[in-house]
């Protein structure tokens, strides 16, 4: 049994309309979930299926709990797709005002910075509460995580955009090399 706690405000998104999301997760994974909508506790029965799939279900539940819509979190069930959470408090301490400023830096005006990081890295990002959650393959994850951490450490937005552009060019060349070598 694995236990995951998610915010009560996100339980509805995890269950879905008429329980559709929960049913689909159990159908895809073969892993049973018990969701307590009163306190946000989720019990994942790993004995009912593949242990690796149980970990994917745990990551899916955590992703929905960290602000991803179920539609965006389905990616987790793909092979070689990972989920990671960065705690903003590790970069600020507990000062509420500083946390709000850093969340604003990551999101940007009208979501511009978050959107640019997502487009340039290919990863999906959600800023929820004191955390930044990222879903992507290994390369996407590393690029997005580095960009977010650079922002949290105080780098200028232009520096982050240059970093992302450089990484995108490198990945494009790497893909071309792979294509021509074969």
CATH entry, 82-181, from 3.30.1370.10, 4.10.780.10, 3.90.340.10, 3.30.1330.200: 3.30.1370.10
pLDDT interval class at 180 (50, 70, 90): low
- Structure confidence by residue, pLDDT tens digits, 104-131: 999 999 999 999 999 999 999 999 999 9
C-beta of residue 87 within 8 angstroms of C-beta of residue 130? yes
> For the chain, how many residues are written?
182
pLDDT of residue 179: 60
pLDDT of residue 93: 80
Distance of alpha carbon 77 from alpha carbon 55, whole angstroms: 10
pLDDT of residue 177: 64
pLDDT of residue 182: 56
CA triplet 58, 102, 56: central angle to 5 degrees? 10
> How far from 65 is each of 37, 49, 60, 83, 159, CA to CA, in Å?
12, 22, 8, 12, 31
pLDDT of residue 171: 82
Beta bridge partners of 85: 133
All residues at 6 or more sequence positions from 57 whose CB lies less than 8 Å from its CB, including other chains: 25, 29, 31, 33, 44
Structure tokens at 121: 């890295």
Higher pLDDT, 93 or 49: 93
pLDDT of residue 46: 81
Domains in the chain: boundaries: 2-77, 82-181
- Structure confidence by residue, pLDDT tens digits, 2-38: 999 999 999 999 999 999 999 999 999 999 999 998 9
Distance of alpha carbon 47 from alpha carbon 125, whole angstroms: 31
- Structure confidence by residue, pLDDT tens digits, 34-91: 999 899 999 998 887 788 899 999 999 999 999 999 999 999 999 999 999 999 999 9
- 82-181 matches 2-77 in CATH topology: yes
> How far from 177 is each of 77, 141, 167, CA to CA, in Å?
29, 22, 15
All residues at 6 or more sequence positions from 67 whose CB lies less than 8 Å from its CB, including other chains: 10, 126, 127, 128, 129, 133
- Structure confidence by residue, pLDDT tens digits, 138-172: 999 999 999 999 999 999 999 999 999 999 998 88
Domain 2-77 has CATH 3.30.1370.10: yes
């Amino acid at each position: 049994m694995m236990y995951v706690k998610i915010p009560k405000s996100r339980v509805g998104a995890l269950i879905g309309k008429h329980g559709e999301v929960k049913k689909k997760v159990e159908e895809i994974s073969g892993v049973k979930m018990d969701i307590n909508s009163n306190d946000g506790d989720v019990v994942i029965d790993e004995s009912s299926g593949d242990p690796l799939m149980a970990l994917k279900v745990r990551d899916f539940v955590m992703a929905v709990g960290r602000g991803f819509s179920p539609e965006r979190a389905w990616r987790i069930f793909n092979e070689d797709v990972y989920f990671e959470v960065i705690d903003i408090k590790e970069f600020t301490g507990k000062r509420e005002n500083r946390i709000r400023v850093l969340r604003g830096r990551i999101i940007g005006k009208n979501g511009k910075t978050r959107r640019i990081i997502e487009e340039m890295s290919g990863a999906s990002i959600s800023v929820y509460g004191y955390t930044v959650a990222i879903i992507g393959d290994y390369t996407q994850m590393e690029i997005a995580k580095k960009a977010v951490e650079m922002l949290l450490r105080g780098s200028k937005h232009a520096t982050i955009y240059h970093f992302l552009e450089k990484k995108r060019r490198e990945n494009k060349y790497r893909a071309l090399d792979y294509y021509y070598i074969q």
